[in-house]
Chain A
Amino acid sequence: MKLHEYQSKAIFAKYGIPIPKGRVAATADEAKQIAEELGGRVVIKAQVLVGGRGKAGGVKVAKDADEAAELAGQILTMTIKGLPVRKVLVDEAAAIAHEIYFSITNDRAAKKPVMIASAAGGVDIEEVAAKTPEKIIKIHIDPLLGLRDYQSRDIAASIDLPRELWRDFSRIAAGLWQAYKDNDAELAEINPLVITKDNKLVALDGKMLIDDNALFRHPDLAEIRDVDEEAPAETEARRHGLSFIKLDGNIGCMVNGAGLAMTSMDIVKLFGGEPANFLDIGGGAGAEKVAAAMRIILADPNVKAVLFNIFGGITRCDEVARGILTAMEEVKPKVPMVVRLVGTNAEEGRKLLENANMITAETLADAARKAVAAAKG
């Protein structure tokens, strides 16, 4: 789950990381009022959950409250990479002397958190990493020990931070580590962390990604998820514990297991079709969950055929069949449906679906071919 800049910075501030004064606004009037309170120059920043806001014109500096209102009004009508801007952050403008990149993220290969810093902050960090990898400093953190102070000092020295700022930098590093750890972040990023002209460190921008699997212990974070930024079907799917991604094709897919779901999409494409979605009902799904999945698939007007590929293990095919029947009763689907049930309780499942007027298939390839043919009508 992605957090907005203003949400991430609010968390950082709780952990003692200095951030600029500012607040979020949904209208030009609100932005004007915040700018008046702050006094002087302000930065208006679009709050959307995609990168590249600045390049898209979603970040602008205003010299006074009137200009803040005008620019906020403009930004609030923008759409950035398909996402309409609904909120802007109004921050006091900083006098920037230098920009640093600073983050903590999961390194899956090392199986440890990694702290990353670069003196070449502000610009696209991927580009710095690609062209001048020596400018990126990485230090792994032992997840059982946590960040040690000497590691923060090592980072500060490696990015040539002036010595008088090392103590402040260590405090920021400790705060970022705690923010990452306490909130089960997959990424806690400050880019840029600036040295201001009066020689202070301030986190000008912030970004956090939270591990969806850990939200059970962060009800406060689950609550601030911005559902406006995702497709309604994806929100609905998550409510039912389904993993769903909408795609552009016309063959709805319902599969158990992520690997098999991806494979089912691959094979649909291999036989000349286009999948309408990725949908994994997960392990051990009951009838209710299956029915919800089917409603989500059939709500997509592009769907011309549905492919059910269930290989029962922890999931029982009879439960899936019951879910299909429940949903069919309710939705009365008009598109052809191809079903393949194998594995745990497959026989019972097939019996339940005997009179459901579905196309049956034995193998995965057979199921995909039939679904592609059915979608063509």
Chain B
Amino acid sequence: MPIREEAAMTEIYNSRFRPEIQDAQRAAEYEATGSDYGANGYLTMRQADELLAHLQLQPDDVLLDIGSGTGWPGLYLANRSGCRVVVSDLTVAGMVQARRRATDDGMHARTSSVVASGRHLPFRPDSFDAIVHADVLC
């Protein structure tokens, strides 16, 4: 994605991930997807469970969620499997909410958050056991 387009997306999603907006649409999110992580997208709870099965996550695994927004589905998958997780997103607003959710769910110690573009991920080679993303490869 060109830098200018990425900057525009960042602005849009920083606006959409504001906590007051997420709080107001929480019931709609739950109705649409079955999730309550403050997500805006199309990944349903049932599909997240499918991802969990496909990724075969173990407690000593490290999962990377690219374009995680407010932590969905990375935090959920880590919570279900017991693995460590790195959630990453273009937006600061999303990562702030993800950190808050990780703390609320008692996952603070095994959650890291990184503000980064999916095209320029600041990690060393061979760092992860599994990678997940939902509608980010656009």
Partners in one complex: no
- Residues of A that sit less than 8 Å from B by CB: none
- Residues of B that sit less than 8 Å from A by CB: none
